[in-house]
Amino acid sequence: MDSNEREPVETAAPPLREPVETAAPPPRAPGIAGLSAPYRVAAALALGAVAVAACWHLALVFLHVAPSNTVSKQHARTVDDWIYPEFEQNWKLFAPNPLQQNIAVQVRAQVRGADGELVTGDWRDLSAEDGAAIRHNLLPSHTQQNELRRAWDFYTGSHDDDNKANGERGELSEQYLRRIALARLEPRQPAGAVIVRIQLRSATKAVAAPKWSDEKSDTETYYRELAWWTV
């Protein structure tokens, strides 16, 4: 071998390092427990407020529908202020009174058009519109089923046959019924038209007796017209 040639120096291979196992972060707890402390406190307070509000509402509704008792008499003003008009109940606990009449609430309006002319519209059957929206609807809204009907019951219950208020809730029932009627009328008005006055009426017709019954019932339609209300 030539003396100038040198054997390659064998370098030792670096030692293999064992992979360092990093600990996986602990799984996050589901629900509120997985939140940080401030958020857990806020969530707990929110849930507590909802629970208190739900219990308060159920308690007042129960006192409203339950037979008259010492507690309901003592807190009658508080119960009425909470229930009327949005949460009013018609069926009394232990004494249901299903309706035996078909009552349709209708409305018409005097509208001033963009040209300044005042036009009185035809009667519009709001109850029929609600019925059409409910029919064949698997999930009808509470508004479609009860809002208009309960508003009319609220009005007739706080007024006499001459449409004069017989208690403190008379004015409240008028405002409630007026708001509902305007909410139905305004979206269908042409551009530039302004509703000046509205008038409501009910069309009441008794449910006919079944064919197999000998009972005779008057199925004529009777109307109850209210005065014009200025908007």
Q: What is the pLDDT of residue 9?
A: 55
Query: Tens of pLDDT along 95-143?
Result: 555 668 899 999 999 999 988 899 999 999 999 999 999 999 988 888 8
Q: What is the pLDDT of residue 7?
A: 58
Q: What is the pLDDT of residue 178?
A: 95
Query: Tens of pLDDT along 190-202?
Result: 888 999 999 999 9
Of these ranges, 2-6, 70-74, 213-217, the one predicted with the greatest mean pLDDT is 70-74
pLDDT at 176 over 90: yes
Q: Helix, strand, or coil here: 71?
A: helix
pLDDT at 5 over 60: no
Q: Which residue has the higher pLDDT, 67 or 4?
A: 67
pLDDT at 92 over 70: no
Assigned token pair, 105: 């609430």
**Mean pLDDT estimate for the chain:** 84
pLDDT at 8 over 80: no
Query: Tens of pLDDT along 35-66?
Result: 778 888 888 899 999 999 999 999 998 888 88
Q: Measured between alpha carbons, how far is 195 from 176 in angstroms, rounded to an integer? A: 17
In 178-199, which positions are buried (b, 16+ CB within 10 angstroms) versus exposed (e)? bebbbebbeeeeeeebebebbb
pLDDT band at 69 (very low <50, low <70, confident <90, very high): confident
pLDDT at 29 over 70: no
Q: Helix, strand, or coil here: 105?
A: strand
> What is the CA 100 to chain-centroid distance, rounded?
26
Identify each DSSP E strand in 98-157 by its residue range: 101-112, 118-120, 124-125
